[in-house]
C-alpha cells in the first residue's frame, strides 16, 4: 500500500517541486509549509454558460499541514500574499487551496 503522507512529503520537497510558503490561518499564528504553486486554466464545455472560463493560482499542500484551512486564510509565497478563496481537500494526501490576490 502506498504511504500517501510520505508521497506528499516527496512531491512537496523543495528539492523536487515544492517551495516554502507561510500559511496564516485566520486568528492563528503563521506556519511555514511547502507547497506546489500552479496557475491552471479551465474552460468547461457543455455545462453552464458558454464562454465562461477560470484561471487563477492554486497551491497544492500536504493535507495534514492545512487540515483546518478556511476561506480568508492567507498564503505568502515568493513575496506575494494570496487570500484563500476555496479549500479543496482530496483523499490522496493533498489539499488544494484556490487563491486570489484581492
pLDDT in tens, 22-59: 999 987 889 999 999 987 655 555 555 555 555 689 99
Separation CA 62–CA 36 (nearest Å)? 10
- Answer CATH for 4-100 from 3.10.20, 2.40.10, 1.20.1740, 2.60.120: 2.40.10
The whole-chain average pLDDT of the chain stands at 84
Distances (CA, A) of 14 to 8, 45, 64: 12, 36, 17
Any idea what the Cα angle at residue 44 is, between residues 39 and 48, rounded to 5°? 130
State the average pLDDT over residues 56-76: 93
Q: Would the CA dihedral through 21, 38, 102, 83 be positive or negative?
A: negative
**Residue 93 pLDDT exceeds 60:** yes
Amino acid at each position: 500500500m502506498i504511504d500517501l503522507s510520505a508521497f506528499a512529503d516527496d512531491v512537496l520537497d523543495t528539492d523536487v517541486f515544492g517551495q516554502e510558503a507561510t500559511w496564516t490561518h485566520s486568528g492563528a499564528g503563521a506556519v511555514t509549509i511547502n507547497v506546489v504553486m500552479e496557475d491552471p486554466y479551465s474552460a468547461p464545455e457543455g455545462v453552464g454558460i458558454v464562454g465562461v472560463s477560470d484561471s487563477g493560482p492554486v497551491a497544492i499542500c500536504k493535507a495534514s499541514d492545512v487540515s483546518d484551512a478556511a476561506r480568508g486564510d492567507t498564503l505568502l509565497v515568493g513575496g506575494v500574499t494570496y487570500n484563500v478563496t476555496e479549500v479543496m481537500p482530496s483523499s490522496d494526501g493533498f489539499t488544494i487551496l484556490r487563491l486570489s490576490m484581492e
